Structure 1
Amino acid sequence: MRLPVRATRVEFTALEIAELRRHFQRGPSKGEVAVESLFTAVSPGTEGAVFKSLPNAVRAFPYPPGYSGVGVVKKSGRGTSIKPGELVAGQLGHSSLTNVPEAELIRYEQSADHVYMSFVELGCIVQQGIRKAHVRLGDHVAILGTGLLGQLSVSYAHLLGAGKITLVGRSTRRKVSSSEHLPEHDYLVVGEDGTVETKADLVIECVGTPEAVIQAIGLSRDGGTVINLGSPRNSISLLAITNLIASKSVKLKGAHISTLPKSTVNFDDLSKIDERKVFRHLISDGLLSMPEIETVPTNANVNVNMAYERLNRGTIPTTVVFEW
């Protein structure tokens, strides 16, 4: 018999209200391991949208957010190979103790940076998009969106040998932070008419709005490629998009973590487990430049709610990591 134990987790209890709440966590079932969290990374786009109940992100409250983190295995369920005491990274919510299917985790070594490893799931999202972009040596890569996914995309484009990288945002708010923490890149601001004077071989769209998709196509040269990371927050006029794509002969590709295959097919279609292993390698070997990150202790409600409020207001440079 698996007796439940007390645990603490973050919950959105109402519109724009985040709280730390106690709950009882059952023991791990077959194929699961119980993970005691060390750090869990906040996804500003997804969690921020749910926090504010934006279109396509409305959830019933209370809602427990989070899907990326690291921790120590406390107990292993039947049929698992991961043992108690091992460090793991993967699909962890913002909770002090979580039962996670073994298939959603990878092991990692103590020498790796725990905070950086907590971004493993977000890294997988960007890696999938970068793979589909087929970055070639010397390519001009434009990245629309200066948040977490956009800044990670700068680092990946640099790793793959992009000749020029242009980060495009709505304001200069993240210009200093990105220049201090990321590889060399240009930083452009969208004009009042919604346009930017640049034409790139590849465009990575990391904003998730219909307007951003249209802007991304506008940033592409004729015959270029546009990658749409994640899920748009509103419906998009297919007619407007189709006409714009046709006028520029642009390739538009979607990249969503839910479409990753269970088993690796080829270089373009790695499984989620293999994508996690790639991220682990990049972090363990210090190859991936990470954006500015703020660590927030989960020892008080005020810390948790304030973190989401500050993300909502844009007063945190990129994102936060909860420390458990």
Structure 2
Amino acid sequence: MDSLCIYFTGKDQVELKTESVPPVGAGQVLVRARKSLISTGTECICLGRLFEEGTHWDRWVKYPFPPGYSMMGVVEQVGEGVTQLKPGDRVVFQRSHRQWHVVDANLPVQVPDEVSDEDASWFALAMISQNAVRAAEHQLGDNVVVIGAGLLGQLTVQYLRLVGAKQIIVVDPAEPRLKMAKEHGATTVIAKRVQEARDEILELTEGKGAEVVYDITGIASVFAPALTLLRRFGKLILLGDTGEPSQQFLTGDVITKGLRIIGTHASNPPAVSTDHTPWTQAEMYRLFFTYVARGDMRVNDLITHRFTPYEAPQAYHLLRHDRSAAMGVVFDWTGV
């Protein structure tokens, strides 16, 4: 049996390939893809090689490169000794955009019946955002600034509403993104570049600045002005992973205001849940599903484009050349 797969074969080169599916071994499961969500920021950086030599991006992205890590599918076959999953189970796991997957049975997490296939495909980005919100250790009534209203920004806004932020101020020059943020919990939206938004943010926070600022842009030049938006002893959460870290510069605010800079990454959560560190990636997936099932979070209305895998070159061309026109972009594998 062959599997259709999406690959980046060079800078701005997207190709479809077919590969043989390996046999299902003991302790493994075979999963057929149903939906996979494009992580627009990460995948565009990889496709366009928008990073400096010697960075972790440079070490990671080697062509041919299999993009994607937000896979939702259905178990078709289980190997010897597998008891936790059965054929027909709907599952999610972090693997690339491809039709068939043979994975260790401990990797997939089951999707509740109340959560749709498309909603489930947001699990990985929802975990990344949730991990950042946990790292911020918010207090009820925090004034928060979110810079960047892309996928992670939209999810972060919804988590901030759930944790009780007083103000959720979203900064992004793209009006369509701000409209979505407003509909999902932002209290104020500012259609400006962050370098131009400081006066308005200080006015909203009585001249003090925000307790927490999230930089979710992945743009190096945002780092320094983001620091100026914080109040004394505030926290900057770096959720956007720039490909040009040498262009990020500190300001005097770090010392004079006693600021904290906290980096977060999908690899941060523990591999095993313990009493001291209970929130693994899988546990955060499940919490996201709980929020979606009871209507505390909404993601389906953030989907702007749907493509078949055969249309992958067109999908990535859109994202590389007119990214502000897109939000959630989903590959539908059900017709393959």
**CA deviations over 1:54-111 (Å, ceiling 9, x no partner):** 1143422221111112110011233432111111112132111112233332112233
Take 1:250 and 1:104, find their aligned partners in 2: how far apart are those partners?
38
Q: 1:221 is matched with which residue: 217, 231, 241?
A: 231
1:242/1:270 CA distance change after superposition, 3 Å = farther
Deviation at 1:269, TM superposition (A): 5.8
1:192/1:151 CA distance change after superposition, 3 Å = closer
RMSD of aligned Cα (Å): 2.3
Letter in 2 for 1:120: F
Give % identity. 26
Unaligned runs of 5+ residues in structure 1 are: none
Deviation at 1:267, TM superposition (A): 7.4
Unaligned runs of 5+ residues in structure 2 are: 202-208
Q: 2:36 is matched with which residue: 34, 40, 45?
A: 40
Greater alpha carbon shift after TM alignment, 150-159 vs 257-266:
257-266
CA contact 1:190–1:196 (8 Å) conserved in 2: no
> How many residues align structurally?
316
Structure 2 matches for 1:4-23, cutoff 5 A? 5-23=1-19
1:178/1:250 CA distance change after superposition, 3 Å = same
Letter in 2 for 1:46: T
Q: Which residue of 1 aligns with 2:74?
A: 72
TM-score using structure 1 length:
0.89
Q: Which residue of 1 aligns with 2:218?
A: 208
Q: Which residue of 1 aligns with 2:262?
A: 253
CA contact 1:68–1:90 (8 Å) conserved in 2: yes
Take 1:276 and 1:158, find their aligned partners in 2: how far apart are those partners?
18
Q: 1:28 is matched with which residue: 24, 29, 32?
A: 24
**CA deviations over 1:207-261 (Å, ceiling 9, x no partner):** 12332222322221121111111533112478x4274411221111111111211
1:42/1:279 CA distance change after superposition, 3 Å = same
Q: Which residue of 2 aligns with 1:134?
A: 137
Deviation at 1:51, TM superposition (A): 0.9
Take 2:63 and 2:150, find their aligned partners in 1: how far apart are those partners?
26
Structure 2 matches for 1:45-60, cutoff 5 A? 45-55=41-51, 56=55, 57-58=57-58, 59-60=61-62
TM-score using structure 2 length:
0.86
Deviation at 1:170, TM superposition (A): 3.5
1:255/1:10 CA distance change after superposition, 3 Å = same
Take 1:223 and 1:125, find their aligned partners in 2: how far apart are those partners?
24
